[in-house]
Amino acid sequence: MNSSIQPKTLGSNWPPEVGERILYNSDQGAQSGYVRQVRWGLVWRDFVLDDGRVVPEHKVVGCPSPPTWRSPQEVSEEEREAAENRLVSMSQSGLDPRDREQAFWAELNQYLAYTFLRFKDPPKPEGR
């Protein structure tokens, strides 16, 4: 494999770090890859692998149960707008949102989960 990422061994502390090999569950069964980037989405962490696949934290073998998710109240207006702009850009560029291991699917799922959680339990007004 021609990768600039130096692989580490499985079993290190959570979350996996850049260069670490992760195992994850996909529609095709167990898969693995080396982490190129760890990034927070609107709700959960995504692991971008060295070949471009994007794996949500809750699909990674060894993820704490329950996984750590951000509250919608932790997401800034700027983050939400940036996510919306990325989705529009990906849509306009012709990317296929059905490819479940690519960035468009990851962004779309993050945004849907964020929107669901935001309206599921709206914050109560002060003093009630």
Low-confidence ranges of the chain (pLDDT < 50): 1-12
Which residue stretches of 93-122 are H helix?
A: 103-120
**pLDDT attached to residue 11:** 46
H/E stretch holding 55 reads strand 54-56
d(CA 38, CA 127): 39
Residue 4 belongs to some domain of the structure: no
Q: Is residue 72 part of a domain?
A: yes
Angle between helices 77-92 and 103-120 (to 10 degrees): 140
In the chain, the number of structural domains is 1
Q: Does a structural domain hold residue 29? A: yes
Q: Does residue 3 belong to any structural domain of this protein?
A: no
Per-residue model confidence (pLDDT) at position 126:
65
Residue 83 pLDDT: 96
- Residue 14 falls inside a structural domain: no
Q: What is the CA 34 to chain-centroid distance, rounded?
A: 15
- The reply to whether 94 falls in a domain is yes
In a domain, 126, yes or no: no
List the domain range (segments joined by +) for residue 78: 21-120
Instruction: Please report the pLDDT score of residue 3 as a whole number.
Output: 39
28 inside domain:
yes
